[in-house]
Structure 1
């Protein structure tokens, strides 16, 4: 088993310190045997960046992901899907630190690359629109968020079973957009749909399902409070 594979196992186990150690060993070998612009170096940089991200070391994560992006831009065609890994990783960091404008910019780069790929991955497209919608919500641009989440839902409906948990994600996010717009009636409807699907596809104690239920309760409360203002 390679150092990368061992690192991936530890990362999956959330033992990020050990994962980082093995990813660094893999990088050291590659740096000795590969030219500085080889795409495999970018893969190592990306792995290390993701571990730092998971350890909440966002400045360090950004440095590694930017190093990976430089190599990929210099060694790969502009529509290569490996570029989306770097764009998405950098966007995630900016999203996490609250720089939503930059997060949106990199997420749009993911979308553009996917759209120009000869074999666009529909699942990736859906997640890209999903991420854009979440960023727009953070920026209080709820109409744009709603549009993005609807596109994600449309893609998912064409490729997934009707009780797939990703559909629940989309319905919940659409509900969040409606809630942000003050349309509590439609928000309630979407949260209920998300819960209905999630109950079929997730354990009852799953955090996503619990979040959907919490969102429904908040929307119910907000609708009630809004109704009271008219009396």
Structure 2
């Protein structure tokens, strides 16, 4: 969250440069505080996909070895598809002993070790998203999550949302002031926070794809993503 404070005078701002201070602006009239939300929607330019392999073996070393082999094939496939190494990042690695639990009160039975390795992949060519998902399954991926669409550079979208929210907040404060018999308003404080919105609620979504139909590509629709700003403004009502 970004907070903007306005100093009372230049002298007051220079007087104590070595210590942090919060300067409160004195107000003579009533103060109106508003929270305003604005969302700007635009087409995404990148997508994030999680892809990984889970393997099981009787020993931890064997489970890790098998997993490493399959993950190497998976990463080689991503590189062959033209995805840069900087866009492939390990996001999760787990090794766990697995047991079968019995209902007759006997001790659980050890069944092996599970190894799960997951990479996060940034897709820059959204038209090939379905092709990439199919290729990952063909390369041995048995865990796929996403895609989550987003803007890689959302500076302009944030600026648009900020401007719209600030202007709406000023107009709302002015309306309140005039309803209360005042002529205008004077800004005292403003703070902001940002959020990103996809076409669906924010959650991990498993994508089921099939490698058996080579002539069909999994359909992927990027839709639009939203960049939202929430600002809180305080205005003094003025005569």
TM interval, short-chain normalised: under 0.3
What TM-score, normalized to structure 2?
0.20
Could you say which structure has the higher strand fraction?
2
Kindly name which structure, 1 or 2, has the bigger radius of gyration based on alpha carbons: 2
What TM-score, normalized to structure 1?
0.20
Identify the structure with bigger relative contact order (alpha carbons < 8 Å, sequence gap 6+). Answer: 2
Could you say which structure has the higher helix fraction?
1
